[in-house]
Structure 1
Amino acid sequence: MGVSSLGYVRLESTDTEKWKQFGGDFLGLMPVEGGDPESLYFRMDDYPTRIAVSPGAQSGMTALGLEVIDERELTSLAAAVEKSGVKVTAGTEAECAERRVTGFVRFSDPGGNPVELYYGAVLDHKPVRTPLVSKFVTGDMGLGHAIVSAEDARSAFDFYVNVLGFIERNTMRSGGGTTWFMGCNARHHTLGITPMPGPGRLLHLMVESATLDDVGLALDRAQRQEIPMMHTLGKHTNDRMVSFYVWSPENYAIEFGWNGLKVPEPVPVYEITEGAFWGHRFTPPPQPAS
């Protein structure tokens, strides 16, 4: 069966204070308490924390949390990862409790990205409250989608498809090489792999809202709060999402979107030659103060 969705993302940041505004006041996620009083935890639906941000000496992703359906599937996938030559480590009881999951394993993908496969989200049955956003589109499609890098993107793509069970959706070629977009549920893509020198890292994270008004209101919040814009409002060619992008406190590309394409049945793979039908004009990241 393979991976079922992107369940959570865990980050370290040199400035968690900025994430209090960015995650709560801008994105509209629900801040909640977690196992570490120094960390920030955000919900967006009935699941436990979807984004966790901990203080760190340098900023980076510490876990791409991929959900599987049950313990049997976790055991099967962990064995397949080991067979592919990648070392797998089981999470401890304390780590499971902090993540509010029943069980998980961790490893680094062929590009060096930290991955956690988990099952059994522990629900607290307290309604989520996101007054700035009518609703986030999650459910069996998970948190949203992420794009990560790999020096050998082809090897990373092969690993996600042949070992973890992702489905290729489309590709896009650029001067740097080929980017692969992959799905694991009805969301057009849950993961993308793009070639880039050095160890793998998170480049982009998308959250999807339920209405176009949610996107417009988020645009207004970004302007009021002086959140730096990365891509203006536009519509993608691959997943048809209407969205805009901002730069996070660590300069991740954070996309806030609506009406992404659903692919409930297998369809032929295709290549795109443009990223957007319209809009999505680019602004470089802000430069650090000298």
Structure 2
Amino acid sequence: MSTVNSLGYVVVRGPLEPWKQFGTEVLGLQLGRSSDPDTLLFRNDERAWRLAVEAGEPAGPDSLEALGLEVRSREDLQRLADELRAKGVEVREDPELARRRQVQQLVSFRDAAGYCIEAYWGATVDAAAFVSPRGVSFVAGETPYGDMGIGHTFLFTGNAEKSAAFWIDNLGFRLSDTIALGPEPAIFLHCNPRHHSAAFASIPGAPPSGLGHLMLEVSTLEAVGRAADIAAEHDVRVSMTLGEHTNDRMTSVYLTTPSGFDIEYGWNGRVIDDEEWTVSHYGAISLWGHRFLTPPSAPVTS
């Protein structure tokens, strides 16, 4: 069992008005209630929010502010904080940030690549049911496999092996598989049945760090196709066409956000049973599709 239960939320920077339209009309996320006029909160399930957008200029992969990793209890969070401190990791408890994130308790620290990690327990469940403006449902909190979190992140790093080792050794993530992407393979990790909640890649020509993409999974292929059509109507850039990945078998399209990083909008992602899973290495990222439509500022990612 992982120390971490899920990738619970993601915090990014970006222009708020374009994000409001993109998040609701294209992605089908529901606006949550935010007490901060400079922060948008988006829902994709019963939680009060899963994606926060703080006011800022588009910065591409550098738009990432924080990754929220959920643990099950106060005791689990204390154990994680103690173990990190014992290994020399600086850990800071932040009651005010916990209030803003609408969780009961939160600690923050940096991983091996310098990403800000916010580990927490006690996320707020909204009394109002999730209602998508587009009528779509997401594979997130309440699933037959338990809470699988917001989705997954694909992160650029100068040393994928070192980054993955930190998450495995300190956070309890487990290796799903690897894909050939340049001189070093991209590494995919899971903490629950979702095929991967985090992936790391060191790719020539890619940024040395930052968010390559955030994956949001919907419950039907139709929802993916309609998102691509709506993106075209809203002049949203499709950075990669519809395709199916080799490792997680996700059928998805990639849409560029107002912040400049991508959303992978996908369906039918693989789930992992650790009792039966065999780690594999893949020589290609996709079985079909996933063609670039614009010159890539970041290489293809899964």
- Structure-1-length-normalised TM-score: 0.93
Please state if 1:258 is matched with 2:271: no
Equivalent residue pairs, number: 285
Supply the AA of the counterpart residue of 1:4.
Answer: N
Alignment of 1:107-256 (within 5 A): 107-139=109-141, 140-195=147-202, 200-256=209-265
**Which residue number corresponds to residue 81 of structure 1?**
84
Aligned-partner SS, 1:163: helix
**Deviation beyond 4 Å, 4+ runs, structure 1:** 196-199
Aligned-partner SS, 1:121: coil
**Which residue number corresponds to residue 272 of structure 1?**
282
Residues 234 and 57 of structure 1: CA distance in aligned 2, closer, same or farther (over 3 Å) = closer
Q: Which runs of 5+ in 2 are unaligned?
A: 142-146, 298-302
Alignment of 1:98-113 (within 5 A): 98-113=100-115
Supply the AA of the counterpart residue of 2:131.
Answer: R
Q: In structure 2, what is the Cα distance between the partners aligned to 1:198 and 1:286?
A: 11
Indicate conservation of the 8 Å contact 1:112/1:150, yes or no. Answer: no
Q: In structure 1, what is the Cα distance between the partners aligned to 2:182 and 2:159?
A: 15
**Which residue number corresponds to residue 47 of structure 1?**
47
After superposition, the C-alpha distances for 1:28-74 in whole angstroms (9 at most, x for unaligned) are: 10012213112111111101211111113663211100111111111
Aligned-pair RMSD on alpha carbons? 1.8
- Structure-2-length-normalised TM-score: 0.89
After superposition, the C-alpha distances for 1:146-205 in whole angstroms (9 at most, x for unaligned) are: 011221221111110011000100111222522100011111111001125876321110
**Which of 121-130 and 236-245 deviates more?**
121-130
Percent identity (aligned): 38
Residues 77 and 251 of structure 1: CA distance in aligned 2, closer, same or farther (over 3 Å) = same
Q: In structure 1, what is the Cα distance between the partners aligned to 2:70 and 2:32?
A: 21
Please state if 1:23 is matched with 2:23: yes
Indicate conservation of the 8 Å contact 1:133/1:209, yes or no. Answer: no
Residues 21 and 285 of structure 1: CA distance in aligned 2, closer, same or farther (over 3 Å) = farther
Q: In structure 2, what is the Cα distance between the partners aligned to 1:50 and 1:285?
A: 30
Q: In structure 2, what is the Cα distance between the partners aligned to 1:51 and 1:72?
A: 26
Q: Which runs of 5+ in 1 are unaligned?
A: none
